[in-house]
Structure 1
Amino acid sequence: MGLDDDIAILAAAPVFELFERDALRLLSFAGERRHLEEGELLFARGAPSDGGYVVMSGTIALAPTRPEAPPVTVSRSGVIGRNALFRPVPRPADARAQETSEVMRVTPSLMSRVLREFPAAAAAIHDGMAAELLDLARGLSGVRERLIGLAPRKR
């Protein structure tokens, strides 16, 4: 894969879609690549994170937390461990390659560097995360209202 291919993959990834081309170029050069064979473990549930991953090729399966649930699969331009891009967190699931795959690890220190060097990207991420939190708060408020409506009324 060439630089333009890498930038296109990163530009299509959630979070990184907000970055300008030079920020994506820095990520492409500084991100750490890892090749995985089919069935190879990327990380185990409960392990401390060392960054987030962008799937550059192939498919990664995330084991469900409930045994009856199907695995979640992440393919090209998908991000695994968005919170781990910003800070260490325990891994919530096993991640295993379903086929030969390549991922790019983006550590919190690399993410911090990119956000310092490209303040517009930092502002875009801030705004995007703020909008997600607002949507979540609205959704929770709606659930609260529905639950109140289901409660028996006192007389």
Structure 2
Amino acid sequence: MSLNEEVELLKNIPLFAKIEPSKLKLLAFTSERLSYADGQVLFNQGDSGDAAYIIIGGTASVLIDTDDGKLEVAQLSKGDVVGEIAILCDVPRTATVQAKESLTTLKISKEAFFRLVTDFPQIAVEIMRELAARLEQTNIRLRAALSDKDG
């Protein structure tokens, strides 16, 4: 994938949609492109957060630790962003992310991510929307799990 193709991909992600192409080109240029094989881990639950990742190809599983082992709570695919919670909230990683099939990502450093949020406050609004949507999905799953348990 060329730099221009990476910029096109970034433009189609709601988080980055309103950012001017020159800034997206800089973001793509300063990001590290990483490839993972099936089963490889991007990061583990509890790790410190040093970067966010944009999925540019393939799929990944979001896994949380439970008493019964790892539980898949989400799947990620092209255009999804992951890892931003740990760097924004300065907390340990809230889940493990593991490649399914082969996976390609752009790794955005904590510093570059904060620079973007500072330069483009609308990114912060998009992040809040995304986190609110994830929280709602979690609440729906939790209610369903509790009603299954009671029923």
Query: TM-score normalized by structure 2?
Result: 0.72
Contact 1:85-1:107 within 8 A present in 2 as well: no
2:95 alignment partner in structure 1: 93
Counterparts of residues 1-155 of structure 1 (less than 5 Å): 1-65=1-65, 70-86=72-88, 88-115=90-117, 119=119, 121-122=120-121, 124-128=122-126
User: What RMSD, in angstroms, separates the aligned Cα atoms of the two structures?
Assistant: 2.7
Highest Rg: 1 or 2?
1
Identity within the alignment, %:
26
Give yes or no for contact 1:61–1:95 (8 Å, CA) kept in 2.
yes
Contact 1:51 1:88 in 2 (8 A): no
SS in 2 for 1:95: strand
Within 1, Cα distance between the matches of 2:38 and 2:130?
34
Contact between 1:7 and 1:28, CA under 8 Å: does it hold in 2?
Answer: yes
Worse overlay, 94-103 or 70-79: 70-79
Greater strand share, structure number: 2
Using a 3 Å threshold, how does the CA distance of structure 1 residues 36 and 69 change in structure 2: closer, same or farther? closer
Q: Secondary structure at the match of 1:100?
A: strand
* 1:86, distance to aligned residue in structure 2 (A): 3.4
* Cα displacement string for residues 106-128 of structure 1 (whole angstroms, at most 9, x for unaligned residues): 12211233455xx3x23x22444
**Any gaps of 5 or more consecutive residues in structure 2?**
137-151
The answer to whether the Cα contact below 8 Å between 1:84 and 1:108 also exists between their aligned partners in 2 is no
**SS at the partner of 1:8?**
helix
Distance 2:89 2:110 in 1: 6
* Change beyond 3 A, Cα 1:126–1:75: closer
